[in-house]
Amino acid sequence: MGVKLGILGLGTVGTGTVQLLQDSAGRHPLLQEIEIYRVGVRSLDKPRAVELSTEVLTTDLESIVNDPAVDIVVEVMGGLEPARSLILKALSNGKHVVTANKAAIARFGAEIFTTANQAGVYVMLEAAVGGGIPVIQPLKQSLSVNRIHTVTGIVNGTTNYILTRMQTEGSNFDDVLADAQRLGYAEADPTADVDGLDAADKIAILASLGFGGRINLQDVYTEGIRQVSKTDIAYAEKLGFVIKLLAIAKRDTPSSPLSVRVHPTLVPQAHPLASINGVYNAILVEGEPIGQVMFFGPGAGAGATASAVTSDILNLVAVLKTNTAVANPLLTCGHQEYCQIAPMAELITRFYARFLTNDQPGVIGKLGTCFGNYGVSLESIVQTGFQGELAEIVVVTHDVREGNFRQALAEIRDLEAIESIPSLLRVL
């Protein structure tokens, strides 16, 4: 007897998944065991890129998760509600769930995994981070014996696509965002991409897997790419960097708190993450004894994401076929404790800052004095040119405690010669 899927959503990812399932020749033979039994959508009148019989399509998503015939629910509708309630209902009804919904997992992971464990079913989420890149399963299984100390990722395809085109073509933010939406990379509300929220959801999930505890999403420091200007991209390039939206989870020692953050970052051009362009994502995992391992691939888009969703489905088909009664601890999530997260003021990092100043003698000296007062040592300080009447000064610091740097900036803002500080970015 075939394994029956109830798919919630037939947008970019749902359509890619149905296409993959309907084109099984030459792929894994287990695909032939799968039946697309029901597909839930919002509108029955929308034209669809896939052919499905009228009995399969429905707008009644509750009926899918309550249908005793459905073995696996594939949630690719996105959003928080009704996705959360439908996932919980499916799990309570004893169905395994595959989801691509990082927003729901990052917020409701605790109740979702608790419900799954109680019901003795699995929640699979490979597509939720890094699109098609296998990273969830490797962290859960292949790397699980390592002591992870750092996870650094480019985990949002839309913003990497935007930053790459701004850098290589000097394109306008709004035009490139519209292209990312047209290509199916962006979230239904692209604010989630642009403001770093999607990357925050993803690093919360990766940190939880890598560091073995729950992450409170409110503790994840989040900055998006709206303030990244063409001017900074050009200065960064001159200084030997590219600007990337990085998601970072790091623990200095096994007993110290975690730092979990998302922000645009100047990445040295020789760093492996500097050459990850367009919709591609990469996740660099560092631990002991593995050293460094990097996962790279397409981070968004129909085909790539469908690959991850369908591989999760296939794993569950294998579970159902072998009738494994005991929950596999390498597939379940049993975290109970929350990780302790370090405040940003304690972060040790380098900074890049751009100042617009009145063209007076001694401004550079005054900046240097203020930084010196708080123990901020400078790697470089250059007057790069003029913007109208105002002189432009770019500073790169050595490693500094973020709290000290902010105190120095507060003093600098009060200097009469300082007109504004248009950019402030961290440096990897």
Ligand X SMILES: N[C@@H](CC=O)C(=O)O
Ligand Y SMILES: NC(=O)C1=CN([C@@H]2O[C@H](COP(=O)(O)OP(=O)(O)OC[C@H]3O[C@@H](n4cnc5c(N)ncnc54)[C@H](OP(=O)(O)O)[C@@H]3O)[C@@H](O)[C@H]2O)C=CC1
Binding site for ligand Y (CB under 6 A): 9-14, 40-43, 46, 61, 76-79, 82, 100-101, 127, 131, 184-185, 187-188, 300-301, 305
Residue 82 binds which entry of Na ion, ligand Y, ligand X, none, CB below 5-8 Å type-dependent: ligand Y
Of the candidates 369, 360, 413, the residue with the CA atom closest to the CA atom of residue 391: 360
Work out whether 130 is an interface residue with Na ion (CB under 5 A). Answer: yes
Candidates 153, 285, 299, 376; binder of ligand X (CB under 6 A) is: 299
> Kind and range of the H or E element at 191?
helix 191-194
Candidates 157, 210, 264, 297; binder of ligand X (CB under 6 A) is: 157
* Nearer to Na ion (CB atom), residue 167 or residue 305: 305
Rounded CA gap, 385 and 399, in Å?
26
- Please identify which of the residues 102, 202, 244, 250 carries the catalytic annotation: 202
Work out whether 158 is an interface residue with ligand X (CB under 6 A). Answer: yes
Assess contact for 244 and 152: CB atoms under 8 A. Answer: no
Which residue is listed with tokens 């032939």?
A: 32
Work out whether 131 is an interface residue with ligand X (CB under 6 A). Answer: yes
CB burial readout 169-189, b (16+ within 10 A) else e: eebebeebbeebeebbbbbee
Sole window of 49-57, 150-158, 248-256, 402-410 interacting with ligand X (rule: CB under 6 A): 150-158
Cβ 51 to ligand X, closest distance in Å? 26
Residue 42 binds which entry of ligand X, ligand Y, Na ion, none, CB below 5-8 Å type-dependent: ligand Y
Of the candidates 227, 201, 197, 23, the residue with the CA atom closest to the CA atom of residue 128: 201
Q: Are strands 72-75 and 3-8 parallel, antiparallel or unpaired?
A: parallel
- Is residue 250 flagged as an active site residue? no
One-letter amino acid of 368 = G
Work out whether 126 is an interface residue with Na ion (CB under 5 A). Answer: yes
Work out whether 133 is an interface residue with Na ion (CB under 5 A). Answer: yes
For residue 295, the SS3 value is strand
Could you list the residues that contact ligand X (CB under 6 A)? 131, 156-158, 185-187, 193, 198, 299-300
Give the residue numbers annotated as catalytic, written as ranges.
Answer: 202
